[in-house]
Amino acid sequence: MAHYLDFEKPLAEIEGKAEELRAMARQNEEMDVEKEAENLDLKAQEILVDLYKNLTPWRKCQIARHPERPHCKDYIKALFSEFVPLAGDRNFADDQAVIGGLARFGDKPVVVIGHEKGSDTKSRIERNFGMARPEGYRKAIRLMDLADKFGLPVITLVDTPGAYPGKGAEERGQSEAIARSTEKCLQIGVPLISVIIGEGGSGGAVAFATANKVAMLEHSVYSVISPEGCASILWKDAEKMREAAEALRLTADDLYSLGISDQIIAEPVGGAHRDPEQAIDAVKSAIGSMLSALKSKRNFDCVLVMEDILEKLKLLDYETKFCKVLDWYPVNKIYFAMNTKN
C-alpha cells in the first residue's frame, strides 16, 4: 500500500478511485472500466505535477523523510559491485546505523560509507533510525584511513536526522567522534564525494559530508538542526516547524545558491520513492562525473606541484652554490642566513 504525505491527499483520493475500479474489474471480468481508470490516472498525474511544482521547504523535509524513499542499502546494491562490508570500530562495537566497506564503482575500487535508516520496524530499531553512535563515526574514520592508505576514492551517502544524543553515546565521546570524523574527511589525500540522499541532519551529517564534492538529491535537505528542533528553541513551539524550515534554508536549491553543495541531482516527479531506479541512475551518473572531474583535477594539480617543486629545487641548488661564495648557509628551503661564526 502506497504511503501518502499530508499534502498529497488529493492525489491519494484519485489514485485510490482508479485502483478501486481496477479491483472491481478483476473480480468481474465482464466489467470494462479501463478507460475510466486511465482517465483517473491522467488526472492523478496532473495533480502530482501541480503538487510538486512549487514545494515549500517543509514539504521538502517531508519528502526527504518518506519511508519508501531509497535508502543507503538500496544505493549500494544498485550502484556498486563486489561490496565487502567492514564492521566495527576496533574499540567498542559495530554501529548498524553506519554501513561501510570496499566496493567497485564501475571498474574503480572505492570505499563507500553511508547512514542506513532501515526499511521496516525491526530494521529501523536495529539501525537506530539512521542515528549513528560514536562507534559508527569511528568505523568511518577507520575506513577513511584505509582508503587513504591504498589510494581509494571515498563515496559517502548521507541520510540521517542527526547523531544519536543518548546518554551512552555521550559517555563514549559522541562529540569527539564527530569532530574526528570531520577532521579525517579534511585530512585524507584521496577524492571524497558525498551525496545527500535524504536527510542531512546536523553534525551527524557533516561528519560524512565534509567532502571535495557535495551533491544533493532534489528533494533532500541539509541543515544544522531539524525544523521541529529549531522551532522548539526559537519559539518554544514545535508546531512552528514550517516557519523554521523557511528560516533554515535547508533545501537543495538554497544550499546550491549558498555554495555549500556543488550539484543538484534531479528526482522523478513525485520524489525518488515513486521511481527508485530512475533516482538511483541519476545518482550514479552524478557520482561518475564528479569522480572523473576530481581525478583529472587531482592529476593536473599533482603535475603543477611537481613542476613547482622542481623549480624550487633548481633555485635552491643555485642559491646554495651562490651562498657558498658569500659564506652564507641555508636555514630552510627558502631563507638563507649569514655565517656568524667568524
Domain ranges within the chain, ordered by starting residue: 6-51, 63-296, 306-338
CA distance linking residue 42 with residue 35, whole number of Å: 11
pLDDT at 300: 43
Cell numbers placing 20: 478501486
Q: Give the pLDDT score at 84.
A: 93
Give pLDDT, residue 147: 94
Across-strand partners of 214?
A: 194
Q: What span, in angstroms and rounded, lies between the C-alpha atoms of 243 and 312?
A: 56
In this structure, CATH architecture of domain 63-296: Alpha-Beta Complex (3.90)
CA-CA distance, 247 to 252, in Å (whole number)?
Answer: 14
Q: How many helices (H) and strands (E) does the chain have?
A: 13, 10
pLDDT at 2: 74
- Please tell me the predicted confidence (pLDDT) of residue 91: 86
pLDDT at 248: 92
CA distance 181 to 175: 10
- Please give the chain's pLDDT, 342 residues, in tens: 578 888 888 888 888 888 877 777 777 776 677 778 788 888 888 889 999 988 999 999 999 999 999 999 999 999 999 999 999 888 898 989 999 999 999 989 999 999 999 989 999 999 989 999 999 999 999 999 999 999 999 999 999 999 999 999 999 999 999 999 999 999 998 999 999 999 998 888 999 999 999 999 999 999 999 899 899 999 998 889 999 999 999 999 999 999 999 999 999 999 999 999 999 999 999 999 999 888 754 444 444 444 555 555 555 555 555 455 444 444 444 344 444 444
Instruction: Tell me which residue has cell 551518473.
Output: 285
Q: Report the distance separating Cα 266 and Cα 88, nearest Å.
A: 34
C-alpha cell recorded at residue 155: 563515496
pTM of the predicted model as reported, rounded to 2 decimal places: 0.81
pLDDT given for residue 333 in this prediction: 40
Q: What is the pLDDT of residue 312?
A: 52
Integer CA distances (angstroms), 220 to 127, 142, 161, 260, in order: 20, 27, 12, 14
